[in-house]
A and B are shown apart, each in its own frame.
Chain A
């Protein structure tokens, strides 16, 4: 099976702009979770989607949002970018019921200047 894929892999944006990141889960996986990874804060949970519904949300401002499509692909959007949003954004996919193993994608490295 193909693994989790994320696009784009690298992104440079300017403060105030918005950005959309995409994640395609492993075939058959219905849950997609998003995490932010920074050297200072480590890996932090953003939100999780299952069957196009957000089931869990972390402690991030409303500028961070996401959605999931009927084919389980997910997107996350960050509006009004701030310098502190520079990070590696990782998505992880899981079957979504019962078993909880989550498998990560390669991440999108976002740099805000």
Chain B
């Protein structure tokens, strides 16, 4: 089955710096890659996603890049703010005629943004 590795497990940055979290996946058939943000005691929230027919996607301060050949994808947060502090999870899933909704998650990255 699919295996998703996520690095680093913890990341500390100064407010205003950029943060990058990287994930690799094992199944070349995976074609959907969402990122979730989970604040302490809260539910995971979808912040951005990318499909395998796209190499990069941006939404304000957040961007995701995908390298299908190398089977890795990354989350980039620019101009970080203290409210960006949370655990971030990457995930991957494979499309089987539109009927596969099994997300395989990375272990998460605890991002701390220091004021």
- Rounded to whole angstroms, the CA-CA distance of A56 and B15 in the bound complex is 41
With beta carbons under 8 angstroms apart, the residue of A35, A58, A97, A103 that contacts B46 is A103
Interface residue SS majority, chain A = strand
Q: Determine whether the beta carbon of A45 is less than 8 Å from that of B102.
A: yes
- CB-defined contacts of A101 to chain B, threshold 8 Å: 34, 46, 49
Is A22's CB within 8 Å of the partner chain B? no
Q: Determine whether the beta carbon of A102 is less than 8 Å from that of B103.
A: yes
Residues of A in contact (CB 8 Å), total 28
Q: Determine whether the beta carbon of A56 is less than 8 Å from that of B100.
A: yes
- Rounded to whole angstroms, the CA-CA distance of A43 and B70 in the bound complex is 24
Q: Determine whether the beta carbon of A104 is less than 8 Å from that of B44.
A: yes
Residue of B nearest to A55 (CB): B99
- Rounded to whole angstroms, the CA-CA distance of A92 and B36 in the bound complex is 12
Q: A42-B108, A48-B102, A55-B101 are in contact. Are A100 and B93 (CB under 8 A)?
A: yes
Q: Provide a sorted-by-A list of 18 A–B residue pairs whose CB atoms are within 8 angstroms.
A: A35-B103, A35-B105, A42-B89, A43-B108, A44-B105, A45-B103, A55-B100, A56-B102, A58-B102, A90-B44, A96-B101, A100-B95, A101-B34, A102-B46, A102-B101, A102-B103, A104-B43, A104-B45
- Rounded to whole angstroms, the CA-CA distance of A43 and B35 in the bound complex is 13
| 11 extra interface residue pairs, beta carbon distance < 8 Å, beyond A4-B43, A96-B101, A104-B44 | A33-B102, A33-B103, A42-B89, A42-B105, A43-B91, A55-B100, A55-B101, A56-B101, A92-B103, A106-B42, A107-B43
Q: A100-B32, A100-B93, A102-B34 are in contact. Are A43 and B44 (CB under 8 A)?
A: yes
- Cβ of A26 to closest chain B Cβ, rounded Å: 12
Is B68's CB within 8 Å of the partner chain A? no
- Cβ of B108 to closest chain A Cβ, rounded Å: 6
Chain B, residues 63-101, CB within 8 Å of chain A (1/0): the string is 000000000000000000000000001010101001111
